[in-house]
A and B are shown apart, each in its own frame.
Chain A
Amino acid sequence: DIRMTQSPASLSASLGETVNIECLASEDIYSDLAWYQQKPGKSPQLLIYNANSLQNGVPSRFSGSGSGTQYSLKINSLQSEDVATYFCQQYNNYPLTFGSGTKLEIK
């Protein structure tokens, strides 16, 4: 199975700041990577697919980048509604696997 190592596990930032979340795959996943946002008690919501494509309706302050084994999610101008847990997911190989999550809080 492809292991997805996500960091940091938790993150505290101020409103208006820029934050980065990283995901490292145990092998090349050829940009077959998605990012999700999950708020407490809710289902995950797709933010980014194909490593850098923004899902319809997602604010442009979210962006994704990376290739090979290293990927990142960037959130510009942090808003209060961005408080959530963020997950990466690879779909290059089965079984599909997820990162362990990054819990984002406002400082």
Chain B
Amino acid sequence: QVQLQQSGAELAKPGSSVKISCKASGYTFTSYYISWIKQTTGQGLEYIGYINTGSGGTNYNEKFKGKATLTVDKSSSTAFMQLSSLTPDDSAVYYCARGPYYSSYIYEGWFAYWGQGTLVTVSS
């Protein structure tokens, strides 16, 4: 079965960086892109961007350019998101999700599979 297993909770200091992982299993990793989504109580769900798991190409929400860096390791079917120059506003639960899916004639922009979420807390 499809699973996305994220790394554990992070407690980070302002100005530092964290790197979250998302290990996929149960499907062909490079058939689907991986997206990252931020959830806070105040702002709800915010789309950070996606990575093409085959080519490593990325598409970022303008809001998160310079904040998030998405990478992938095909050999381990793992996607990563690094968050830099952390501030308290970056405190949130971060999810990876499988998708979008693109083929010659098909685009699927919804997310049928999500990781369990990684809580990032930024505090001095």
Contacts and interface: CB of A to CB of B under 8 A. Distances in A.
A49 B110 CA distance: 7
Nearest to A98: B45
B70 to A, nearest CB: 14
> Looking at chain A, what size class is its interface with the partner chain?
20 to 34
A27 to B, nearest CB: 16
Interface in B17-59: 35, 44-47, 49, 59
B110 A91 contact: yes
A39 to B, nearest CB: 12
Contact of B95 (A43, A46, A96): A43
B47 A44 contact: no
B34 to A, nearest CB: 13
B109 to A, nearest CB: 2
Given A34-B110, A49-B108, A95 B44 contact: no
A101 B43 CA distance: 10
A32 B114 contact: no
B96 to A, nearest CB: 10
B114 to A, nearest CB: 4
Contact of A32 (B35, B63, B109, B112): B109
A101 B44 CA distance: 7
B56 to A, nearest CB: 18
A46 B117 contact: no
Interface in B94-115: 95, 100, 107-112, 114-115
A97 interface: yes
Nearest to B46: A98
Interface string A29-72: 00010101000000111100100000100000000000000000
Interface of A: 32, 34, 36, 43-46, 49, 55, 87, 89, 91-92, 94-101
